[in-house]
Structure 1
């Protein structure tokens, strides 16, 4: 029952934000509020379980990608950058913003996940440099570019104004970071590209 509650709670969170009520959740589940509190001590405890489930799913994906010997460095890098929750489903951009603003203890867990993910990204980049797939770059600057971009792209209003989703925006970011903006045919022939 606990897993069912967590899944339904995520749906409520994505539909109503963090302001959803446990009474409304209990009604959707067809159980009493008391039944919810047999599994969770409070709404905050329930939210923590939802976010922990999402982060555990993401950590497992990141580990699988990093250890996958069938992927080359470019494929691994792209997969790491695009990892998103699969088991429960993703959080909306608005909810992520609300977690950042109103639940700092939970947001710290997300930040720890981002740090762990970046360590794996750096490892893949370094392997790619050793194999000649990537040119050496300042990884501290690249991290700032990537993390800063993801943070800015997570802005719900920006995504709505540009008729985009966070997944689409991060996919585009990954493409730009991995392949740049120069057309593939021009990279080998343009004098400026050869100087880089």
Structure 2
């Protein structure tokens, strides 16, 4: 029953963000709020459970990428940098904003996951450089650039300008980081500027 309730909570978050109530969940399931309280003590407890599941899901998906022998280090790196939980409920950046505003303790868990746990990424970069697939670069600068860009993109005002779901934002951001923005045409000559002064 707990998983059924959790599934309805996921659906509500995808439809309405974090603006649902326990009464909404109970009505969707055709049961009383008293029954819901047997499994979850509060709305925050529900969201906390989903956050924990999402983080565990991302760790598991990352490990699957690490163990996939059919991929080279660069392919693994690209995939690892865009991992989102299966059935991702926080697809809309506005939900992250609401989480940060309404449930700061839960936001700290998400934020800690984003800021830490980069060991596999470091390993993939080292492997890629050693194999000649990636050029040598400053790994910590790369990681901090990713974190900084992601945090900026989770700002509500920036999100409103971009109007993309988080999965699409991540894919494009990682492409920028890994491929740059040159179009593959003639190389820009040393000292030549490409439209920006």
Q: Give the TM-score range, shorter chain.
A: 0.7 to 0.9
The gaps in structure 2 that reach 5 residues or longer are: 191-197
Local SS of the residue matching 2:17: helix
Deviation at 1:152, TM superposition (A): 1.3
TM-score computed with the length of structure 2 as normaliser: 0.86
Q: Tell me, yes or no, if the aligned pair for 1:62 and 1:117 is still in contact at 8 Å.
A: no
Q: 1:156 to 1:166 in 2, by over 3 A?
A: farther
Give, in whole Å, the separation in 2 of the partners of 1:29 and 1:172.
38
Whether the 8 Å contact between 1:82 and 1:170 is mirrored in structure 2 is yes
**What is the number of residues matched between the two proteins?**
190
Matches within 5 A, 1:83-122: 83-86=83-86, 88-91=87-90, 92-122=92-122
Runs of 4+ with >6 A deviation: none
Contact 1:22–1:33, Cα closer than 8 Å, also in 2: yes
Aligned to 1:153: 153
Q: Deviations over 1:112-145 (max 9, x none)?
A: 3224542211111111011111112112211121
Q: Partner of 1:2 in structure 2? A: 2
Contact kept in structure 2, 1:84 and 1:90, CA below 8 Å: no
Q: 2:64 & 2:70 partners in 1: Cα distance?
A: 11
Q: Using the alignment, how far apart are the partners of 1:131 and 1:185 within structure 2?
A: 26
**Alpha-carbon distance, 1:185 to partner:** 5.1
In structure 2, the residue matched to 1:27 is 27
CA RMSD of aligned residues (A): 2.0
Alpha-carbon spacing, 1:73–1:191, altered in 2? closer, same or farther (3 Å): farther
Asked whether the 8 Å contact 2:125–2:134 carries over to 1, the reply is yes
Q: Distance in 2 between matches of 1:191 and 1:131?
A: 28
